[in-house]
Amino acid sequence: MVRRRILISALQNGEKRTGKPAMDIETPEARSLQFLTYRNKFNHFHSNGTKDNRMKHIIITVITLLLSVSASAQAVGAQTQQFFQLPIVPDSIKNFQNRCDYMITHYWDFCDLKKAFSSRDKMADAFNMYLSFMPYASATSVYASVNKFMDNISKKPDDVLFIAGLAENNLFADTAQFQSEELYSLFLDNVLKNKKLNKQQRERYEKQSKVLHNSQEGMIAPDFEYTDLNGTKQKFTPDTTKFATILMFVVPGDPQSDLDKIRLDADIKTSQLVKSGRVRIVCIAYENGDGSLSCPEGWETGYALDVNEIYDMRHTPRYYILNSDGKILRKGSEVEPVLNVMQLLRVPKKKPSASQE
């Protein structure tokens, strides 16, 4: 059975996001930087190679069949192993997104949620199917549906925690093929407002929620303290005098982290931008690791072993690209988007000396 995972863009068509670029600078250079960053972000989560394209086509095909007016109730029931009947979208609704809206709005209508959790495997399959419709539905419908569903199961803490685990595996975990922090945060918010959960049950999700809210794209990058290589205490604060800041979180001795540092240092444009003062690179180790921490000249370097309580560190290395306002423009685990951004920035021309004039 094809695993159906949510795509990060899910809440599409601008019903929640305004689409306004996070980097609000009027120069042509900045507008190009906005375009590339958002284009890369879109491609990264929607078209991560041929394999993911095939999976996306399969998902769309399955959803289309489920939404087809010619699909029988028996065929729909077979998709959920006769667990419960899915709603049949009225023939009068023609638009694909509107049909998906109807599906997720009424998805649980025929499910007896008081008994459904007795079969955890079937409930997990049904929940995964539920998530698969969300990339194609409106934000308004997605939010309303999730809030209603979580409210309906709120009286049974074990059921709430079971759904929280499924949401984490499908939307947030390292193994999630398609991740959506925004949608996972919606489930987290519902979990944390449930007063039937005890302190121990809430603790892990409270930490996740704090990190996600602190380090979301569009937020001001949080300050943190670190110790530099000389043993001196320092404090990172976004520098609004820089056109861009690259926060790079690494583990000493990690091969990928070491390779990425070499690539950034070897990139002529990146080195020129750092030397000119236009770009700031801050390389922070958040674990001691198996090796020593070293970085190219001109980088700010140090250790902050508790920074993973502030920033999301699911992958190593971890990059945060900040704009001149200190806002997180993009985060990820690959160095290519960083290099792409560097190529769009201009190195200031050197003023000719008196002898040259």
Please tell me the least confidently modeled range out of 36-50, 64-78, 279-293: 36-50
Percent of the chain with pLDDT over 70: 75
DSSP 3-state percent helix, strand, coil across the chain (nearest 5) = 45, 10, 40
Going by pLDDT thresholds of 50, 70 and 90, the confidence category of residue 315 is confident
Task: Kindly state the DSSP code that residue 133 receives in the 8-state scheme.
Answer: T
What integer pLDDT is reported at residue 173 of this predicted model? 87
DSSP states along 145-199: HHHHHHHHTTT-HHHHHHHHHHHHHHHTSTT-SS--HHHHHHHHHHHHT-TTS-H
Lowest-pLDDT range of 19-23, 152-156, 252-256, 318-322: 19-23
Q: How far is CA 49 from CA 55, 57, 315, 338, in A?
A: 10, 13, 19, 19
59 phi and psi angles, rounded to 5 deg? -60, -45
Beta-carbon contacts of residue 121 (< 8 Å; ≥ 6 apart): none
Q: Looking at residues 32-45, what average pLDDT do you find?
A: 37
Reference 331, options 22, 15, 48, 61; nearest CA is 22
Tell me the per-residue pLDDT of 160-204, one tens digit each, with 9 for 90 and over.
Answer: 999 999 999 999 987 886 788 889 999 999 999 999 999 999 999
Question: Residue 248 carries which DSSP code?
Answer: E
Mean pLDDT of the chain: 80
Q: Is the pTM higher than 0.75?
A: no
Tell me the domains of the chain and their CATH numbers. 28-214 (no CATH), 224-344 (3.40.30.10)
Pairing of strands 279-285, 300-303: parallel
**Is 18 a residue whose pLDDT tops 80?**
no
Which helix (H) or strand (E) covers residue 344, if one does? Answer: helix 336-344
pLDDT digits (tens, 9 = 90+) for 256-312: 999 999 999 999 999 999 999 999 999 999 998 888 899 999 999 999 999 999 999
pLDDT of residue 39: 37
Place of tokens 């306002």: 325
Residues with Cβ < 8 Å from 5, sequence gap 6 or more?
128, 131, 132, 170, 176, 177, 178
Portion of the chain with pLDDT greater than 90, in percent: 61
Find the mean pLDDT for residues 328-338. Answer: 93
On the CB side of 199, CA atoms within 13 Å amount to: 0
